[in-house]
Structure 1
């Protein structure tokens, strides 16, 4: 679930509890290009206050204007389409050919939004089933592969963390990385058996474990919606965990370190842990994309940019990868130095 959507639901609960009427707007289908994906949400209070987004501006403005002029008088959900004509698509800021279908749902205390927030806050993955005719909603367990489903009679939306991230090491870089990962809606586990690091760990929303990282990898039963990032620089902690991680379906396995350390790590894993080439090729390192990052927050952004690209199936050009980018810079610097020497002579 998009963490922005959780803010939408929380705002809806606050408004409902204060006695105000609320309209929940959900993107249920898109055709062509669309600014927001299926499942994106917007909550509109009867006074025109809003939280969330379904398009990027113009559709929101139209819906807010509708609420301000007509109020929220409907008692059952209804579906609405924008962008059917080229003129309407242009008016509402949709790309050429883009069409978006929304479900507009008036919320009440019986809409199960407060219970949904409670379950999501507890780390559960929940599906909310909405009957379009009656407006009745119920909550059922969901699977990570479930998505938005709308057939005109029932709307099923999925809420809660779908992706997990295991971060090995509880140092300063991990702190920044985990804060951003939480904003990206990962369920984050931090593993570090070293007391000098775990005793000072303080990132709310993460789960801290003090077991050996390779044991944690096995205990978590990693699947294709998991990422593993090793940040300790300690082979005793990183190597065994990475060995286990590359043998799982995890979509991302990577380790921090210089190009030299990365090459040494691969050599160790191949020589001492019998990893084959197909397993080694799954290990990413040095992790991140090249943005000239130097500080821990910048490095965290670099790493999570690469994780996001891999998760979304985006193939990054070789010059974006840290190893290739730095090798290119080394060549350029050597050529510059050689030219300078030749000019002096």
Structure 2
């Protein structure tokens, strides 16, 4: 499973490989209640086919009209603005007089699309610098806290997972949780030192480690964009991971198990590892929203639903 913008980049590459001229649009600025966030992508094929989205459909319709009229036969990156006035805002479906600005970029060999996708397939975060005069692109590793920036010479955007998820335990739930999390823009790592559980477990773009969970959590260096979920059902592994995770900065720490098992876990973490009540209260367990989930994909869905609620500060 892929996030929307990764699908856009892959589709753009497929179209170019098939011989089509392709323009890539990046949202660079928004004012008011714009439909999609800065950095979102849309790809436009020469015959008017689109991949991705920047609005509810009105702007996409206008882009197709311009494309078919030949006005988007671009030779260099070109900005395009929608919704400056109230009439345009109504026409293009921008609520509350919102405004949206796109940078339209004709793709070519200088765009380094293949190299960008190769790095993203390895789970990397990538800084992409577009020279607005030539259309040439330079790629470099992205840094924490990087945001999109635009000036008269260049557009700097960032691609790859914005959030991180560490899963303790390899199994069916982990499989679904990792796949779904990737679709929500998480870079995913799975830790399980048990050979009988790891086996040939492998997912594209997911890092697998067999080191001990407490060491992995420490090396993970969780921050406010990180989540840690323990799924092994083995106290010797889950407790070690939770001991470190609950003392860290992760915005979400969850552990699988019944309410009875959660009470026992809290007691162990308090008595044997010295965790405080405040640290223990950071643990979400039983993990996930109570939606009656029974199967691995349903449980994974419930976990991601709770993670999303916590991430946006909503009452789960």
Measured against the shorter chain, the TM-score band is: over 0.9
Partner of 2:74, secondary structure, is: coil
Match of 2:313 in 1: 314
Q: Report the equivalent of 2:86.
A: 86
Partner residue in 2 for 1:58:
58
**1:110-161: CA deviation from partner (whole Å, max 9, x where unpaired):** 1222221122222222111112233232222211311111234321100122
What are the within-5 Å matches in structure 2 for residues 131-142 of structure 1? 131-142=131-142
1:202 CA drift (Å): 4.2
Give the length in aligned residue pairs: 315
Cα distance in 2 for residues equivalent to 1:87 and 1:196: 64
2:123/2:205 contact within 8 Å kept: no
**CA distance in structure 1 between the aligned counterparts of 2:149 and 2:35, rounded to whole angstroms:** 19
In 1, are the aligned partners of 2:122 and 2:205 still within 8 Å (CA)? no
Normalising by structure 1, report the TM-score. Answer: 0.86
Q: Distance in 1 between matches of 2:181 and 2:73?
A: 39
Match of 1:329 in 2: none
Which runs of 4 or more aligned residues in structure 1 lie more than 4 Å from their structure 2 counterparts after TM superposition?
none
Distance 1:24 1:110 in 2: 13
Instruction: Please state how far the C-alpha of 1:200 moved relative to its aligned partner.
Output: 5.1
Work out whether residues 16 and 109 of structure 1, in 8 Å CA contact, stay in contact via their aligned partners in 2. Answer: no
Distance 2:73 2:79 in 1: 15
In the alignment, is the contact (CA less than 8 A) between 2:29 and 2:38 conserved in 1? yes
* Contact 2:165/2:189 (8 A) holds in 1: yes
SS in 1 for 2:27: strand
Deviation, structure 1 residue 197? 1.7
Does residue 181 of the first structure (1) align with residue 184 of the second (2)? no
Structure 1: runs of 5+ lacking an equivalent: 321-345
Tell me the secondary structure at the aligned position of residue 211 of structure 1: coil
CA contact (8 A) 1:170 1:191 kept: yes
Check conservation: 2:178, 2:206, Cα contact below 8 A. Answer: yes
| Equivalent position SS for 2:95 | coil
Q: Give yes or no for contact 1:229–1:253 (8 Å, CA) kept in 2.
A: yes
Query: Residues 292-345 of structure 1: CA distance to partner in whole angstroms, max 9, x if unpaired?
Result: 32222111111101112222x3221xxx4xxxxxxxxxxxxxxxxxxxxxxxxx
CA distance in 2, matches of 1:123, 1:172: 21
Report the TM-score, using the length of structure 2 for normalisation: 0.93
- 1:116-127 to 2 correspondence within 5 Å? 116-127=116-127
State how far apart, in whole Å, the 1-side matches of 2:121 and 2:173 are: 25
Partner of 1:106: 106
Q: CA RMSD in A?
A: 1.8
Alpha carbons 2:173, 2:300 under 8 Å: kept? yes
| Per-residue Cα deviation, 1:276-297 (whole angstroms, up to 9, x for no partner) | 2232222221221222322221
In our comparison, the structure showing a higher alpha carbon Rg is 1
Q: Which structure 2 residues correspond to residues 1-345 of structure 1 after superposition, within 5 A?
A: 3-70=3-70, 72-199=72-199, 201-311=201-311, 313-316=312-315, 320=316
Post-superposition offset of 1:246: 1.3
